[in-house]
Each structure stands twice: as structure tokens, then as C-alpha cells.
Amino acid sequence: MRMQPRRRVSIRDIADAAGVSLTTVSHALNGKGRVQPETRARIFALAAELGYSANPHAQRLATGRHMMLAVQISGFGGKALATDSAYFVDVLNSVSAAALDHGYTAVLAAPDMRPRDIDAFAVDGAIVVDPTGEEPLLTTLAQRGAPVVTTGRVLGAGQTSGWVDNDLRKAATRVLDHFGDAGYERPAILTGPLTRSYAADTVETYERWARERGIEPISVAVRSGMSAAAAMRAAEALLSRRDRPDAVYAMLDVLALATAHVARRRGLSVPGDLGIAAAFDSEVLRWADPPLTAFDLHPARIGREAVALLTAVLADPTRAGRSVTVPAKLISRASTARSG
């Protein structure tokens, strides 16, 4: 017996199921008009439940959009599209999945894109991870009037359509107090470029914390070209000081691992002679010897929130300028388990 082809679900089916007009469904799915957030969410849920799939060509004609979002990890001096850091991988995966949920496709943009390359880049908006504010993708799209959301703030007067970040000042205070509670007296900071908000916020908080306690602050920054070799050099410079710190808060997992490696090479025990904590958690830190204390920054949530901000601005430009703060959770492990 020949089976009848399954009828394609239409927006009329969604409208009937939701008890709203065709116009409301169209506006909700295409990001047009003013639809209450709860109504929009209900329509998206029903569309998924019914198996609705928009015709992408018709959608582009109807909205005037490409239905494409760029996502870029701001470069650390290299040309690679991405990094093997678990944090960035989790953010990228989350952005890709969330973009699809909102009817968009996420495309990965190289960190060294030139303005003329971007002019041919058919995207409706972008998400830039850990920006400096000087990325051509960010500045070129902003000049076009296309929305850009960042994970991490742009320092200074840089204008974006919104940002998502952790409260890294609060996190810095939390880990420094954790060091103190464990009996460490001379903590230091090992970080990436101070042109990025995560580094600037952490170093500023650390220096204030140290001054309040009469401690001489010690910080080393890898200013460009982040790599395993650069991380090793920075850790060596920090641990070879005459006033060597007895605890290190490393802003990147590669810096934390380099610190542990250099400490071992110099005959320092962790956590006895040196405590180590990292600003974000990863599998390699969990399996290190000893396992390293770190923060869970919830990168998957950061990616989802960034997409939600960006698509909200695409649907309604008056929503630009908003921010979302995602909590950070300290996970204490053996690398800071020193008795006081």
C-alpha cells in the first residue's frame, strides 16, 4: 500500500494550537512586531512540538535577514579559528545549539578577519568572546548598525548591543579569601592580556585586596601570543622571583597547568609549598596531579544567554544595551588543601 506523504506543518497549525492569530505566529517566529515574551516562548515550544520547519528561503525573503550569526573567539596573537580550551569549546557548542533553537545558523569567524572580508560576510549579527574592542568584526558590524553581543565586556567606551559575563571581581575575592583560609599568605595573579575585561577586573580586585591587607601585589601577564610555551615562561618568571608567592591564581587553564609543571620542576610541592587555583574549570584540571581548584563559570549557559540577547536585539533593536551576569562556583580541590 502506497503511503501518503506527510503534510508539512504550517503556521496556521501553530496559530490554531496556540489560539492566536497568524500574524502573531509570523511575528514571533520571524522576530517582527511586538510579541509578549511568554507568547513568543509558547509559540516556539508549539512549533517544536508540532515539528514545524520554516522554509529558509521564504524566511529570508520575509525578514530581509540571512538567518546567520557569526561567533568569534578574539585572537590571542594567532590565526586559529578556535582554541583547545574547554571553556571556549563549551561556549561555541552552546552558541551553535542555541542559534539553531532560535532559527539561526552560527558560523565561526577567524580572529584575523579584515574589514573587506567582513563586508562579504552575510550575517545578521555576531557574538565575540573575550573582546578587546578592536576586533574588525566587532567594529565593522557596529558601523553597519548590526548588533554585536560579547561574552566579557569591552573595556572603556566601546559600545555593543549587550554582554554576558561572570562576576569575576567577586570570584577573585572569593578565591583570594580561600587561599587565606587555607593558610597561604602571598598570593599572586597569572593572567592573559590586561586589554580583556576578565584580566583587568581580576587584577584590579586583587591589587585592592592586597593593599587592604598590607600585602605587596604580584602579577604577571602574558601580553600576546598565548601558547603553552608562553605560559611556561610566565610561570617560570613568577616562581623564580626572590619574593616567590606561595599561591597562584591563574586566569587560564594553560597558565594553571604551566604553574603546576614549573613548581614540580623546581621541587615545590602542591599544595604544601604552593597553592594553585584556576579561573575556570576543565577536564584537564580535574585530572591533574593534584587536581586543581577552579571555578565553574557555566560556559554553556553563557553561550545560551549570548544568543538570547543577540536574537532579542534582532527582533527588537530597542532591547540593545542589556547585560546578563552568570554566577561562578568555586570548586575546591587538592591543589589548595593546605593546612593553615
Candidate from 41-45, 81-85, 280-284, 329-333 with smallest mean pLDDT:
81-85
Half-sphere exposure of residue 294: CA atoms within 13 angstroms, side-chain side: 27
Set of cell numbers at residue 77: 596573537
pTM recorded for the entire structure? 0.79
Q: Residue 329 in contact with residue 269, Cβ under 8 Å? A: no
- In the DSSP assignment, the letter for residue 83 is -
For the stretch 46-82, pLDDT in tens is: 887 887 766 554 555 455 566 889 999 886 555 555 5
Q: Could you state, in order of their start, the residue ranges of all structural domains in the chain?
A: 11-62, 68-165+299-326, 168-296+330-336
Q: Which fold has domain 11-62?
A: 434 Repressor (Amino-terminal Domain) (1.10.260)
Homologous superfamily, domain 168-296+330-336: Response regulator (3.40.50.2300)
Asked if the domains 11-62 and 68-165+299-326 are classified in one and the same CATH topology, the answer is: no
Nearest to 147 by CA among 214, 59, 239, 65: 65
Q: Tell me: domain 68-165+299-326, CATH 3.30.420.40, correct?
A: no
- Above 90 in pLDDT, residue 4? no
Set of cell numbers at residue 36: 509578549
Q: Which strands, in side-by-side order, build the sheet including 329-331? A: 219-221, 187-191, 247-250, 275-278, 293-296, 329-331
Report angle CA 199, 253, 169 to the nearest 5 degrees.
30
Q: How far apart are CA 109 and CA 121, in angstroms?
A: 9
Mean residue pLDDT across the chain:
86
Q: How far apart are CA 172 and CA 170, in angstroms?
A: 5
Q: Residue 310 in contact with residue 127, Cβ under 8 Å? A: yes
